[in-house]
Amino acid sequence: MPPKQMKGVAKPKNTMATLKRIFSYMKEFKLQLTIVIIGILISAGASVAGTYLLKPVIDGYISPLIGQKHPDLSKFAGILFVMIAIYLCGALAAWVFSRMMLNISTKTLYKIRVDMFTKMESLPIRYFDTHTHGEIMSRYTNDADTIREMLTNSVTQFISSAITVTGVFIMMIKISWQLTLICIAVLAAVLYLIKVIGGKSGMFFKEQQKEIGKVNGYIEEMIEGQKVVKVFCHEEEAKSGFEKCNEELRQAATSANTFANILMPVMNNLSYLHYAITAIAGGIIAVNGILSLGGVVTFLQYTRQFAQPITQISQQFNAVLNALAGAERIFNLIDEEPETDDGYVTLVNAEKNEKGELTETDHHTGVWAWKHPHHDGTLTYTEVRGRVTFDDVVFGYVPEKTVLNGITLYAKPGQKIAFVGSTGAGKTTITNLINRFYDVPDGKIRYDEININKIKKADLRRSQSIVLQDTHLFTGSIKDNIRYGNLLATDEEIISAAKLANADTFIKHLPNGYDTVITGDGGNLSQGQRQLLAIARAAVADPPVLILDEATSSIDTRTESLIEKGMDRLMNGRTVFVIAHRLSTVRNSHAIMVLENGKIIERGSHDDLIKEHGRYFQLYTGMFELS
């Protein structure tokens, strides 16, 4: 058995249900699948029938012609053409069903991947917080590839081998039941060896896979931390660590492949031994007149055909189980509960008439309104101002541990509210609740006096922009990355947003300016430049509420001073929530909230908190001394 099939096989929990679900994606291919089945039958039947023709060829044509000086070969040539035609039909049928199954499998995987990605985009942030990126990516790569392999090769080979074995076994019994008993005895020995040797190999292959993961993880860690390695001159220690991991992998791989490589030679030699025993027994039977020479030759050919499909079935059985286990993981993702949204208040463009009343419009006016339908069928429009209030909010990512305890605060339109405190105090959690990445079990959060649970999540988030500490840029041009904040933004608006964030200067110095293509999450840009682009992206969205989560943490003091005026212009007229460890960035906030263990322990302006000589005073003076 090839090593590929001997790796630790994952087993599905519900085989039949998973199979049905895979084939549910193939409903539209019923005609093609019917042709595939017919093609498999023709291909397997041609193999069995072509071999059986050896008996009449030898007994009816070759044997009678032995010793004749001028034999008539016309009938012999005729049956040879029949054999050629049968094998050609089998080959053509195999080509047809292979090509058709390849087409079916790729289209089926296309639909599965679409369902996966569609569901992924509807999942709540909680799912991504509790599942690693590698775990999710493996659904698209490893698990999807096992399904492709199963549909393209394993299923057809499994069916073809089963039909071939059945057909060959029937023909073997028809030719000689005595020789068939010998074949069954040898087959039992082969299956026993597969179980014993294969089981040992599978155990060691699991160990090898674990060691491969360790080696890959070590290499990835060393690549990411290469600067640190060189700074501390730890090259030799790094090589020593790699040699240890590599040696453990070598030992596991040696043990795994020792058994895997033993299996095929043992089976091949058993096959030759089987062939020799069958030939001897067949010769004895033929000499006694029980079986003809053609029957012996045909039976010997069938022994070859009988052993190979049995091995293929055992191999493909493992491949199918592995694919079904992968399919279950994929369907688990597809079956995840999507992000719920019971909101009915929507965000619309609006304009004011002479009386100051709001009316909905289909074009951007710079005025936004909440469109609020009521039970009596009436509609009201509330101008989006950015007033946010928390009323005794309690929240925890897991039920047994609360992160926020009784948070009460308010932000008036246009105010800048800052959150400071130690790591884990709950600062980022508050901003996660404002845009409903998570819903609160206790307490109320209101946005322009509307409970945010009533606002559609997409509209709520469209009214806000967030600049995160870990900036993410997409593969594409600088222009496209800024436009991500507003897909309808014109080039002029993009340039204006970049100037607002003071990103325009460095962009113009790039090789292709705003058309410079970013790859690798902006690896060719400095962290500060990447954050400037993120700020520009937030600016082009033109939201009434802005959230800055350590937005300037990777920008040096000089760059920060350069963008301060631009940030002030960006924050003008907007409600802004700022999270910052660098306390110099929050001095001009209207209110500063000091959090500790999920509670607001101090609140007030910078001057008021300094006068109190409390926790903020300690933090600020400590930062000042450090600077």
Q: For the chain, how long is the longest CA-to-CA vector?
A: 125
Q: Is residue 109 exposed (0-12), middle (13-18) or buried (19+ Cβ within 10 Å)?
A: middle
Return the CA Rg of the chain: 36
Residue given tokens 């076994």 in the structure block: 169
pLDDT for 519 equals 77
pLDDT at 373 over 50: yes
Highest mean pLDDT among 27-41, 287-301, 352-366: 27-41
pLDDT at 322 over 80: no
Which tokens in the block code for residue 130? Answer: 């509790």
Q: What is the spatial distance between Cα 31 and Cα 335, in angstroms, rounded to a whole number?
A: 29
Per cent of the chain over pLDDT 90 is 15
Contact, 294 vs 55, CB < 8 A? yes
Contact, 161 vs 42, CB < 8 A? no
Confidence of residue 624 (pLDDT cuts 50, 70, 90): very low
Confidence of residue 154 (pLDDT cuts 50, 70, 90): confident
Signed CA dihedral, 581, 435, 126, 122: sign only: negative
pLDDT tens by residue, 181-222 = 888 887 787 777 777 766 666 667 667 767 776 787 788 778
Mean pLDDT of all residues in the chain? 82
pLDDT for 5 equals 40
pLDDT at 2 over 60: no
Report helix, strand and coil shares of the chain as percent, to nearest 5.
65, 15, 25
Of 418, 421, 412, 447, nearest to 433 by C-alpha is 447
pLDDT tens by residue, 187-198 = 787 777 777 766
pLDDT tens by residue, 423-464 = 788 888 898 899 888 988 889 999 999 999 999 998 998 888
pLDDT at 38 over 90: yes
CATH T-level fold of 12-175+315-338 = ABC transporter transmembrane region fold (1.20.1560)
CATH T-level fold of 388-626 = Rossmann fold (3.40.50)
pLDDT tens by residue, 587-619 = 888 899 998 888 999 899 888 888 888 888 888
**279 Cβ contact list (under 8 Å, min separation 6):** 296, 300
pLDDT for 587 equals 81
Contact, 406 vs 599, CB < 8 A? yes
pLDDT for 361 equals 87
Domain assignments of the chain as residue spans, ordered by start: 12-175+315-338, 177-290, 346-383, 388-626
Contact, 580 vs 594, CB < 8 A? no
Confidence of residue 141 (pLDDT cuts 50, 70, 90): confident
Q: What is the spatial distance between Cα 95 and Cα 113, in angstroms, rounded to a whole number?
A: 27
Q: Please list the alpha-helical segments (H only) found in 123-176.
A: 125-130, 133-138, 144-149, 155-175
Of 306, 336, 299, nearest to 162 by C-alpha is 306
